[in-house]
Chains A and B, each alone.
Chain A
Amino acid sequence: QKEVEQNSGPLSVPEGAIASLNCTYSDRVSQSFFWYRQYSGKSPELIMSIYSNGDKEDGRFTAQLNKASQYVSLLIRDSQPSDSATYLCAVNVRGATNKLIFGTGTLLAVQP
């Protein structure tokens, strides 16, 4: 089992719809969870971080964390064509280096 799993997609949604991106992780002691957006040919940019169970909202983005189910999701409301990108889920690995483990990403395509 991979440490961080995401559906590779593509996830296609119409403009204005809600896009739902999901991620599961295997390490129960993980404490920090991140969503990054990566446009083709560019480096990742941070969208949101979440540390506690429940929802965290920032503009059109809502991150949801359920540690019991080892599940983290990202909802994008009012999806725009400019949201079309690969969304990477990242989970920390506690230890000396506190490094992040990235999922393979979900490609989101918002259709105008």
Chain B
Amino acid sequence: GAVVSQHPSRVICKSGTSVKIECRSLDFQATTMFWYRQFPKQSLMLMATSNEGSKATYEQGVEKDKFLINHASLTLSTLTVTSAHPEDSSFYICSARDSEKSTDTQYFGPGTRLTVL
């Protein structure tokens, strides 16, 4: 149980284009999902908290207009990197909390490796 998928697993795009990453909870409902970014040899950095049916909460320093988050259902959150630039190249990982459980446990997706040329 508690499986989270991400799509795509890897994407290469040209500078200036937008990229959408999907995060799905496969066997549980997730009112809350989280989006992280991880640069090589660094720890996870929380970008934003995605809330089903409401606006995402962004961490300080994360541009909400550049990283668009939509959480339209209890099993799907999307992150769109708009006008991507080489400095946005990173490993993007989502996680989800099981809405039926009272714990704070986050289950991670496999991640999406974004390379912007």
Taking CB as reference atom, which chain A residue is nearest B97? A98
**Interface 0/1 of A76-102, CB less than 8 Å to B:** 000000000000101010001111101
What's the A-B contact tally at a CB cutoff of 8 Å? Answer: 48
Interface size on A, residues (CB 8 A): 21
A residues near B43, Cβ cutoff 8 Å: 88, 102-105
Interface size on B, residues (CB 8 A): 19
Does B107 reach chain A (CB closer than 8 Å)? yes
With contacts A49-B103, A97-B49, A99-B49 taken as known, whether A44 is within 8 angstroms of B108 at the C-beta atoms is yes
A residues near B109, Cβ cutoff 8 Å: 43
Q: How far is the CB of A61 from chain B (nearest CB, A)?
A: 15
Does A42 reach chain B (CB closer than 8 Å)? yes
Q: Which residues of B contact A (CB under 8 A)?
A: 32, 34, 42-44, 46, 49, 57, 93, 97, 103-111
Q: Which residues of A contact B (CB under 8 A)?
A: 32, 34, 36, 42-46, 49, 88, 90, 92, 96-100, 102-105
